[in-house]
Amino acid sequence: MNKYFKTDIEQGLTFLRTAINNALSDIENGDEEELNLGEHVPFSLVVECAEKRGWNRDDDYDFDTNGWECDCWYHMLTPNNKPVLISGCLWKGLDTNIVLYDN
């Protein structure tokens, strides 16, 4: 077994978290209203990073899936109460997106 795989994965996740946090910052600051992070960015990691930045689940919406694939939509509020939709796929298929929207 390659003795470096664990460190390689940890370093990759560090870079990925940095990119996600930069994207979330752009949404928070109004620099971007919609970002496509691509199909290999884990939906759960985007939500985790958002929660660590103080984003909260928007209680007006339920976590939603389409029922036949693992596509999902999750509504959050930024720390300054901007409504945001994070969408993606828990398996493969959809790109992971972050979209700022009006109520």
Mean pLDDT over all residues of the chain? Answer: 89
Whole-structure pTM value: 0.87
Q: How far is CA 79 from CA 16, 30, 41, 47, in A?
A: 22, 13, 23, 14
Between the two ends of the chain, the Cα-to-Cα distance in Å is 51
What's the pLDDT score for residue 70? 79
Range of the structural domain that residue 81 is part of: 5-100
> Is the separation of the CB atoms in 84 and 98 below 8 Å?
yes
Give me the mean pLDDT over the 8-36 stretch.
96
Give the residue from 45, 42, 39 showing the smallest Cα distance to 93.
39
Task: Give per-residue pLDDT as tens, 69-96.
Answer: 678 889 999 999 999 999 988 777 679 9
Contacts of 19 (CB under 8 A, 6+ apart): 37
The secondary structure element, H or E, covering residue 64 is: strand 64-65
Reference 13, options 34, 51, 57, 44; nearest CA is 44
